[in-house]
């Protein structure tokens, strides 16, 4: 029977010390990326499989992380999870995903369960960006909030810069020659609706412009988008572009405008927010949208959790920029 490959053999092939090889494979230490990659490639080439029990005994860690989410349908949590796993995979760490379903009792049950399993850290996420109360106080492991944020400024929260996304949307519409821009979005009390509307208003003001109509607040739905199209047209406002607070709203608005005989983008250019593939590709024409880079947020959150696990925590809000993805709905 073949003997198992040892860490010493991996180190020899990679041309590093055994200690360095161990750090590279365990996600510890301040190693150069090329060194870490060389060790990982050597381990893969030799078919090295780390002994989880021995590794835990040596480091006092389980190499597991918990992710608690309130996003039952996975619209936001799945991309965040993919990004987190990308970052954690380099250290051969596993993620336990727990769906709290917006139930505080269930959330605390999962928190206790994860702590009983001795996870090394926890990522908390959800489907809204507004701040929430911390999941716990004086916990024995570090916690990082991703997409959602903690109301405690001492916690680490990785969030999308939604105002930046709105600036990019309005900037794009201005760049393609539109000046009479309306904004249709979700509920007025919703944090994301507020941030995106404020970003749009501020960007126009910086150019000496204002919205063509007051902000139209409603629901995050296609039905509201269709209704908003009728409201916009009934005002008689000379609108040549609409920035929508979500792709669902934008898709409904596009349908409503098309039914009223308006052509997109010839008559009215259209930009959404979220870059949700189901919506942007299903819209006619394909929808220009703002992407919050959810995978990038998950990746950054995991990297900051790893730093905290290694004794180098980061505190406060970490806002990540958005990016605009142009498509046919704003084509010149």
Digit-coded pLDDT (tens) for 219-263: 999 999 999 999 999 999 999 999 999 999 999 999 999 999 999
Same domain, 98 and 180: no
Give CA–CA dist 162/188, Å, rounded: 15
Domain span including residue 15: 7-50
Taking residues 107-121, report their average pLDDT.
Answer: 95
Same domain, 169 and 79: no
Beta-sheet strands, E only, within the chain = 64-69, 94-99, 121-125, 131-132, 143-146, 149-150, 156-160, 181-185, 216-217, 241-244, 269-273, 288-291, 316-320, 323-325
Paired with 64 in beta bridges are 94
Of 304, 10, 312, whose CA–CA distance to 20 is shortest? Answer: 10
Same domain, 114 and 101: yes
Taking residues 299-315, report their average pLDDT.
Answer: 93
- For strands 241-244 and 156-160, give the pairing: unpaired
Residue 203: C-alpha distances to residues 121, 196, 214, 249, 289 (Å): 39, 11, 15, 21, 17
Same domain, 240 and 139: no
Beta-sheet strands, E only, within 100-251 = 121-125, 131-132, 143-146, 149-150, 156-160, 181-185, 216-217, 241-244
Q: Tell me how crowded residue 105 is: count the other CB atoms within 10 A of its CB.
A: 7
Give CA–CA dist 295/85, Å, rounded: 10
pLDDT band at 1 (very low <50, low <70, confident <90, very high): very low
Same domain, 118 and 236: no
Could you tell me the end-to-end alpha-carbon distance of the chain, in angstroms, rounded to an integer? 67
Confirm if 151 and 133 have CB atoms less than 8 A apart.
yes
Give SS3 for 145. strand
Given a cut of 70, is residue 7 above it in pLDDT?
yes
Confirm if 160 and 76 have CB atoms less than 8 A apart.
no
Q: What is the CATH number of the domain that holds 116?
A: 3.40.50.2300
1 in any annotated domain = no
What is the pLDDT, as a whole number, of residue 28? Answer: 66
What is the pLDDT, as a whole number, of residue 90? Answer: 66
Residue 302 CB burial class (10 angstroms; 0-12, 13-18, ≥19): buried
pLDDT band at 127 (very low <50, low <70, confident <90, very high): confident
Same domain, 76 and 133: yes
31 in any annotated domain = yes
- Provide the sign of the torsion angle of the four alpha carbons 98, 103, 106, 108, taken in this order: positive
332 in any annotated domain = no
Same domain, 94 and 127: yes
56 in any annotated domain = no
pLDDT in tens, 145-182: 999 999 999 999 999 999 999 999 999 999 999 999 99
Out of 56-60, 72-76, 98-102, 132-136, least confident range? 56-60
330 in any annotated domain = no
96 in any annotated domain = yes
Domains in the chain, number: 3
| pTM passes above 0.85 | no
What is the pLDDT, as a whole number, of residue 89? Answer: 78
Same domain, 249 and 138: no
pLDDT band at 81 (very low <50, low <70, confident <90, very high): very high
Taking residues 288-307, report their average pLDDT.
Answer: 96
pLDDT band at 57 (very low <50, low <70, confident <90, very high): very low
């Amino acid at each position: 029977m073949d003997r198992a490959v040892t860490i010493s053999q991996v180190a020899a092939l990679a041309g590093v010390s055994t200690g360095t090889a161990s750090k590279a494979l365990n996600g510890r230490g301040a190693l150069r990326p090329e060194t870490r990659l060389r060790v990982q490639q050597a381990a893969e080439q030799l078919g090295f499989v780390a002994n989880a029990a021995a590794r835990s005994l040596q480091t006092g860690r389980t190499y597991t992380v918990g992710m608690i989410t309130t996003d039952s349908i996975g619209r936001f949590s799945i991309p965040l999870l993919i990004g987190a796993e990308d970052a954690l995979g380099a250290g051969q760490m596993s993620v336990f995903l727990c769906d709290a379903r917006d139930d505080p009792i269930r959330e605390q049950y999962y928190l206790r369960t994860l702590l009983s399993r001795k996870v090394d850290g926890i990522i908390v996420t959800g489907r809204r960006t507004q701040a929430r109360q911390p999941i716990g106080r004086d916990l024995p492991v570090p916690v990082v909030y991703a997409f959602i944020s903690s109301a405690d400024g001492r916690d680490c929260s990785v969030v999308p810069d939604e105002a930046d996304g709105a600036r990019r949307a309005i900037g794009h519409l201005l760049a393609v020659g539109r000046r009479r821009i309306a904004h249709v979005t979700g509920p007025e009390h919703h944090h994301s609706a507020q941030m995106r509307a404020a970003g749009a208003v501020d960007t126009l003001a910086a150019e000496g412009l204002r919205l063509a109509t007051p902000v139209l607040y409603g629901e995050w739905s296609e039905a509201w988008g269709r209704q908003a199209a009728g409201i916009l047209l009934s005002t008689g406002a000379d609108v040549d572009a609409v920035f929508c607070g979500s792709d669902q709203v934008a898709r409904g608005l596009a349908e409503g405008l098309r039914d009223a005989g308006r052509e997109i983008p010839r008559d009215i250019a259209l930009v959404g927010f979220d870059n949700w593939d189901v919506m942007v590709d299903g819209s006619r024409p394909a929808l220009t949208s703002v992407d919050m880079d959810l995978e990038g947020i998950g990746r950054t959150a995991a990297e900051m959790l790893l730093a905290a696990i290694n004794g180098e925590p980061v505190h406060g809000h970490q806002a990540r920029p958005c990016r605009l993805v142009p498509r046919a709905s704003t084509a010149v």
